Chain A
Amino acid sequence: MNTLLSVDICGIGVVGPGLTNWAQAAPLLRGEQPFEPTELPPLKPELLPPNERRRTTQLIKLAIQAAEEAQRHSGIEAAQLACVFASAEGDTFIVDRLCEALALPEKPVSPTQFHNSVHNAPAGYWAIAGVARRFSTSIAAAGASFTAGLLEAAAFVASEGEPVLLVAYDIALPETLAPFGDSHSPFAVALVLASKNQGGSRLASLGLISPQEGSVSAMLPTAFSSLQTQNAAAQALPLLSQLARGESATVNLAYHDGTVLALELTC
Chain B
Amino acid sequence: MSQLPLVLTRYTVVNALGHGLAASLEALRLGHSGLRVNDYEPAPLSTWIGRVDDIEQAALPAALSDYECRNNRLARLGLEQDGFSAAVAAAVKRHGASRIGLFLGTSTSGIEETERAYAMRNEAGALPAGYHYRQTQNPFSLSAFCREFLGLAGPALVISTACSSSAKVFATASRYIAAGLCDAAVVGGVDSLCQTTLYGFNSLELVSSEKCRPWDAQRNGINIGEGAGFALLEPASAVEGAVQLLGYGESSDAYHMSTPHPEGDGAVAAMQQALERAGIETQAVDYINLHGTATPSNDRSEDRAVTRLFGNATACSSTKGWTGHTLGAAGITEAIFSALSIEHGFLPASLNTEQKEEGLNAGVLLQNREQSVNIAMSNSFGFGGSNCSLLLGRREA
Contact = CB atoms under 8 A, between A and B. Distances in A.
Are A and B genuine complex partners? yes
Contact of A98 (B131, B179, B200): B200
A256 B181 CA distance: 14
A249 interface: no
Contact of B269 (A87, A119, A133, A158): A133
Chain B interface mostly: mixed
Interface stretch (B85-93, B136-144, B210-218, B370-378): B136-144
A155 B118 contact: no
Contacts of B257: 115-116, 121, 124-125, 128
Interface in A69-88: 83, 87-88
Given A103-B119, A121-B384, A148-B157, A180 B132 contact: yes
A110 B156 contact: no
A107 B195 contact: yes
Contact of A120 (B160, B180, B200): B160
Given A141-B156, A155-B178, A127 B254 contact: yes
A133 B252 contact: yes
Contacts of A120: 160-162, 382-384, 386
A98 B2 CA distance: 39
A123 interface: yes
Contacts of A179: 126-127
B381 to A, nearest CB: 12
Contacts of A180: 127, 131-134
Contacts of B147: 256
Contacts of A32: none
Interface residues of A, number: 64
Interface of B: 1-2, 43, 107, 111, 114-115, 117-119, 121, 125-127, 131-134, 137-140, 143-144, 147, 153, 155-162, 168, 172, 174-176, 178-181, 195-196, 199-204, 250-258, 265-266, 269, 382-386
Interface of A: 2, 4-5, 83, 87-90, 95, 98-103, 107, 109-111, 114-121, 123-125, 127-128, 130-142, 145, 148, 151-152, 154-156, 158-159, 176-177, 179-182, 210-211, 256-257
